[in-house]
Amino acid sequence: MLVDEVKITIKAGNGGNGAVLFRREKFIPKGGPWGGDGGKGGNIILKTVEDIAILRRYRNKTSWQAENGQNGGKANRRGKNGKDLILLLPTGTTVTDISNNKVYDLKKIEEILIIAIGGRGGLGNCAFASPVNRTPKHAENGQPGEEKKLKFELKLIADVGLIGLPNVGKSSLLNCLTNASVKVADYNFTTLDPNLGVMDGLILADIPGLIEGASNGKGLGFKFLRHISRTKMLLHCISSDSQDPYKDYLVIRKELELFDENLLNKKEIVLFTKTDLVKEKELTKKTLIFSSLNKKVLYSSIFNNKNINLVKQKIIDENEICC
């Protein structure tokens, strides 16, 4: 199961305390202040990687802390700085700082963000020596590291998003167009997670089937609608054996509008799937209304290689035009 939304608590490392020490060695019974400064606490850093499943590691472990800085030592030695903690996220993750609702959108591969800064180390008593106070008996404590509550939300980045009602053949189509090996079956909601495939350098995303009310959480809910927002082009799949293809089309378009009306502005191709299930005359009749709306209409059957190749080429051509 793809984990695409998690909440965690993070804590940067605390700074080490400064030391109160005086030099005491043979032949130096009353040396001056000798306490070093504390080390800085480790930062917490977010880094994006090409692994859409990596949020799974934060599902059970929800609290993460960087290393604390070490305390100052004798001979004015500074404490060792705490190690930074690097948290890996999938490229395309939106990070929300829950305390102030600040949002960071991490769209680039290997993008780095310092999200929490470690505490400064405290000064040792060496730092407080002066002509009027040659034996300071105090030092500073290290400062605490920043602590935050974060929400990670993955939005897949793909060139083409396959959308449509459940059981219209999106997964089978993705398998034919790419080298993906997606589970397919003749029942609704076979696909419970978004699937990705690569076709001639283009990333195709099979978005799980949407139903009326998806924008309000019905069916698989609106969690998958957000994955559509990052796609460059939509391939709207409609089953050729549908009793009312235009109604099916409008159901999906309405859900896109309710979730984010900007989704309606994306380039769209209407694709009739499972064309082997209907006669040519019936199919022509069903697609007339889309032609009258100036929609680009394609046809596919997983049993017709020539058909699939035409769909491939059209996707490539349209992607070059729009992107």
Residue 183: pLDDT above 50?
Answer: no
Tell me the pLDDT band of 320, cut-offs 50, 70 and 90.
Answer: confident
Are 206 and 177 part of one and the same domain?
yes
Are 150 and 12 part of one and the same domain?
yes
Q: What pLDDT, on a 0 to 100 scale, did the predictor assign at position 171?
A: 87
Q: pTM of whole model > 0.85?
A: no
Are 89 and 209 part of one and the same domain?
no
Q: How many CB atoms lie within 10 A of CB 182?
A: 18
Are 148 and 164 part of one and the same domain?
no
Q: Kindly report the CATH number assigned to the domain that includes residue 231.
A: 3.40.50.300
Binding residue positions for Mg(2+): 171, 191
Are 169 and 150 part of one and the same domain?
no
**Number of structural domains found in the chain:** 2
Are 168 and 259 part of one and the same domain?
yes
Compute the chain's Rg from CA coordinates.
29
Are 149 and 87 part of one and the same domain?
yes
> Can you read off the two tokens belonging to residue 115?
């999200």
Residue 170 CA to residue 1 CA, distance in Å, equals 18
Q: Kindly report the CATH number assigned to the domain that includes residue 133.
A: 2.70.210.12
Residue 159: pLDDT above 50?
Answer: yes
Domain that holds residue 293: 160-322
User: Where do the DSSP E strands lie in 193-241?
Assistant: 195-199, 202-206, 233-239
- Give the end of a domain, one of 139, 154, 169: 154
Are 172 and 316 part of one and the same domain?
yes
Q: What pLDDT, on a 0 to 100 scale, did the predictor assign at position 192?
A: 53
119 neighbors 69 (Cβ within 8 angstroms): yes
- Give the end of a domain, one of 127, 154, 181: 154
Binding residue positions: 164-171, 189-193, 206-209, 273-276, 301-303
Instruction: Locate all alpha helices (DSSP H) within the chain, ordered by sequence.
Output: 57-60, 170-177, 225-228, 245-259, 280-292, 305-322
167 neighbors 187 (Cβ within 8 angstroms): yes
> Can you read off the two tokens belonging to residue 203?
């990333």
pLDDT tens-digit profile of 224-270? 678 888 899 999 999 999 999 999 999 999 989 988 899 999 999 99
Are 85 and 211 part of one and the same domain?
no
- Give the end of a domain, one of 120, 154, 188: 154
SS3 annotation, 39-52: CCCCCEEEEEECCC
Q: What pLDDT, on a 0 to 100 scale, did the predictor assign at position 9?
A: 98
pLDDT tens-digit profile of 24-61? 888 887 889 999 999 999 999 999 998 888 999 999 99
Binding residue positions for GTP: 164-171, 189-193, 206-209, 273-276, 301-303
Tell me the pLDDT band of 223, cut-offs 50, 70 and 90.
Answer: low
Q: What pLDDT, on a 0 to 100 scale, did the predictor assign at position 282?
A: 94
